[in-house]
Amino acid sequence: MTGASKWKHVPVFILMLVFCASTDTRWMITPPQSGRSLLVGGILVENNGLDDIYQAHRAKITVVIVGKSVVNGREKMEAYRIKTDDNGYFAVSNVPPGAYVLKGIEVNIGYANRMLIGSRWEGSSQIYYPVTNMISHTVRVWPEPGSGHIINMNIHYFLIDRTGRVGHREFRFLNNTPVGLKDIRHTMPSPEDYIRTKAEASDWFK
């Protein structure tokens, strides 16, 4: 089973940009604040031949997320940088309810290669591709906003081939699932279920 799913997208205009969490940090769950949400997700990267290496990556991947919310009647955007844990999951506590987009990742892949993967839009489709200097925070198409206590961004899977081209799919979970590399299967529970097991005593899950 794969639990594959896709966001619905709607176009919006960008009004204001506010940057936060600008340094790479390993995530930790902090107590919930009134009117705020817990943002969770997962990352799986497979190298399918770049530098003649065939392996999967989950740990210590830097994730770049851009969110849009309405605060005190004004629309604003916030950018987040967070590192995945050893199992490929991330969490950001106390984000404002709104729409969130995975804009890109930074991952060590191949022989001492630090690969930056950004994204752009072709029509309503978000396309991921290698970038050289920095991951843009521009968002052209947004998912429907999440308004719940927990906003689940699902598991984002990236396949990098020997030429450096990037493929992308999104899953709700993986259950002994082959996705790209030959003879390799992956099991990853949904991000919400995983984070719950790591912080079940937290007020987020009461």
- For residue 147, the model assigns a pLDDT of 78
Cβ–Cβ under 8 Å, residues 61 and 107? yes
- For residue 148, the model assigns a pLDDT of 86
Q: What tens-digit pLDDT sequence spans the chain (206 residues)? A: 556 544 333 333 333 444 444 445 567 899 999 999 999 999 999 999 999 999 999 999 999 999 999 988 899 999 999 999 999 999 999 999 999 999 999 999 877 788 999 999 999 999 999 999 899 999 999 999 987 899 999 999 999 999 999 999 999 999 999 999 999 999 999 999 999 999 888 899 88
Summarize pLDDT for 54-105 with one digit per residue, the tens: 999 999 999 999 999 998 889 999 999 999 999 999 999 999 999 999 999 9
- For residue 22, the model assigns a pLDDT of 41
